[in-house]
């Protein structure tokens, strides 16, 4: 097996090994203010949202994970089955492996084969050329492209890239020339407002802040190392909640998406309330398809829908957009971050009237 396929299998194994049922995310550190009169009924609530020019019945998607080996082909097939049944947008993992080794293409293409009419995203790293990005899109017949930025992962990864000097230029080129809508995402380290502004400046319209709190690629790559350890970097980065607060005032200039540590319908609702237009889940979907299989996963997500409608009714909000008018209370360490970064956190506590 080549080193790229081996790495893909190790990522899946380690993500699953390090998966924690109890959320470690900052979603636990925000609360809604309860108001006693919702004044709506469950039938009034719509879970519909949109991303990258595509209307979606549900405001969440299966975020980029895998492909590049036999084992991950099977996982992609399972995930695609779930995506097809529930009409979810689904992203592949980085298609780099298939660009380098064309014989691995079918482990990605399976996503399209299982779900011929689905909205599918191909995924590449920010060091790739426009030509490679086009090849990734072609392999999956993808409707859109995800470009991932993952500096901490590359540097902790023993065989990772060491030249990170051209990423913004490459992103600018790809956005201008790839011919499909583009989303730029982190991989669980979150974004700052400076980062989001740089992306806006190079023409990016869709950003997934993908923050800390779930899958931890510093920890995953550290576990793959055989020489000295980088365990002091396992705490690197901003949580998804902090990242959304950082980017909040830029929502007029860019479409915000969120992922990182999202495990439940309640987490999804909280991310939407902080300004995300849709929410991505990776580790949680991986955990469900590997352990429960696609059918049971579909059942679980059907239950999530009901729960999301219940929570939105409780909040008196009939649409995803209206969730941005909910009242949120933050725990102290989130407030400390906002204080130091000059983010007006108080406004979130009194948005409902």
Span interacting with ligand FNR, options 44-52, 57-65, 132-140, 225-233, rule CB under 6 A = 57-65
**3-state SS class at 128:** coil
Q: Does 187 sit near ligand FNR (CB under 6 A)?
A: yes
The tokens of 226 are what? 């055989």
Rounded CA separation 98/90 (Å) = 18
Residue 292: Cβ-neighbour burial (10 angstroms; 0-12, 13-18, 19+): middle
> Which one, 254 or 314, has the nearer CB to ligand FNR?
254
Helices of type H across 164-292: 167-177, 193-201, 217-224, 240-247, 265-273, 283-291
Among residues 152, 190, 214, 275, the one that binds ligand FNR under rule CB under 6 A? 214
Give the three-class secondary structure for 351: coil
Closest by CA position to 41, among listed 284, 272, 314: 314
Joined together, the tokens standing for residue 249 give 């005032």
Q: Which residues, at least 6 apart from 88, have a Cβ–Cβ distance to it below 8 Å?
A: 56, 58, 60, 61, 62, 82, 118
Question: Is the Cβ of residue 46 or residue 129 nearer to ligand FNR in the bound state?
Answer: 129
**Burial class (CB within 10 angstroms; exposed 0-12, middle 13-18, buried 19+) of 98:** buried
Question: Residues binding ligand FNR: what is the number (CB under 6 A)?
Answer: 27
Tell whether residue 126 is a contact of ligand FNR (CB under 6 A). Answer: no
Of positions 185, 248, 270, 317, contacts ligand FNR by CB under 6 A: 185
Q: Which is nearer to ligand FNR, 150 or 324 (CB)?
A: 150
Q: How far is the CB of 252 from ligand FNR (least distance, A)?
A: 25
**Three-class DSSP category at 124:** strand
DSSP letter at 27?
G
Instruction: State the minimum distance, in angstroms, from the CB of residue 281 to ligand FNR.
Output: 5
Q: Does 153 bind ligand FNR (CB under 6 A)?
A: no
**Residue 65 binds ligand FNR, judged by CB under 6 A:** yes
- Using alpha carbons, select from 325, 253, 302, 238 the residue that is nearest to residue 32: 325
Residues 233-262 within binding reach of ligand FNR (CB under 6 A) = 259-262
Instruction: Decide: residue 88, CB within 10 A, 0-12 exposed, 13-18 middle, 19+ buried.
Output: buried
- Residue 66 in contact with ligand FNR, rule: CB under 6 A: yes
Of all residues in the shown chain, the one whose CB is closest to ligand FNR is 214
Residues 263-322, interacting with ligand FNR (CB under 6 A): 281-284, 286
Work out whether 188 is an interface residue with ligand FNR (CB under 6 A): yes
Q: Which is nearer to ligand FNR, 45 or 269 (CB)?
A: 269
Q: Per-residue contact track with ligand FNR, 11 to 40, x per CB under 6 A?
A: xx--x-------------------------
Q: Which residues bind ligand FNR (CB under 6 A)?
A: 11-12, 15, 63-66, 93-94, 123, 146, 148, 185, 187-188, 210, 214-215, 259-262, 281-284, 286
């Amino acid at each position: 097996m080549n080193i790229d396929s081996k790495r893909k299998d190790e990522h899946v194994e380690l993500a699953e090994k390090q998966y924690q049922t109890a959320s470690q995310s900052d979603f636990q550190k925000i609360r809604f203010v309860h108001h006693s009169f919702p004044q709506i009924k469950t039938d009034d609530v719509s879970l519909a949202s949109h991303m990258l020019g595509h209307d979606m019945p549900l405001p969440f998607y299966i975020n980029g994970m895998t492909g590049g080996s036999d084992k991950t082909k099977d996982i992609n097939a399972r995930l695609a089955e779930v995506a097809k049944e529930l009409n979810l947008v689904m992203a592949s993992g980085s298609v780099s492996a298939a660009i380098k080794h064309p014989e691995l293409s079918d482990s990605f293409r399976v996503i399209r084969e299982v779900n011929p009419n689905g909205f599918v995203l191909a995924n590449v790293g920010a060091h790739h050329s426009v030509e490679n990005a086009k090849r990734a899109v072609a392999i999956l017949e993808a409707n859109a492209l995800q470009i991932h930025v993952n500096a901490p992962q590359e540097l902790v990864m023993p065989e990772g890239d060491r030249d990170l000097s051209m990423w913004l230029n490459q992103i600018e080129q790809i956005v201008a020339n790839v011919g499909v809508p583009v989303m730029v995402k982190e991989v669980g380290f979150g974004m700052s407002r400076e980062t989001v502004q740089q992306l806006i400046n190079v023409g990016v319209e869709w950003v997934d802040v993908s923050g800390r709190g779930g899958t931890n690629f510093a920890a995953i790559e550290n576990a793959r190392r055989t020489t000295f350890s980088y365990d002091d970097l396992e705490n690197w980065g901003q949580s998804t909640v902090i990242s959304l607060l950082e980017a909040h005032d830029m929502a007029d200039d860019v479409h915000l998406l969120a992922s990182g540590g999202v495990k439940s319908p309640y987490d999804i609702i909280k991310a939407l309330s902080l300004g995300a237009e849709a929410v991505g889940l990776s580790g949680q979907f991986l955990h469900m398809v590997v352990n429960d299989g696609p059918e049971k996963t579909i059942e679980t997500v059907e239950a999530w829908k009901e729960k999301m409608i219940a929570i939105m009714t409780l909040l008196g909000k009939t649409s995803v957009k209206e969730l941005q008018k909910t009242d949120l209370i933050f725990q102290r360490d989130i407030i400390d971050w906002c204080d130091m970064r000059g983010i007006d956190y108080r406004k979130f506590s009194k948005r409902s009237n």
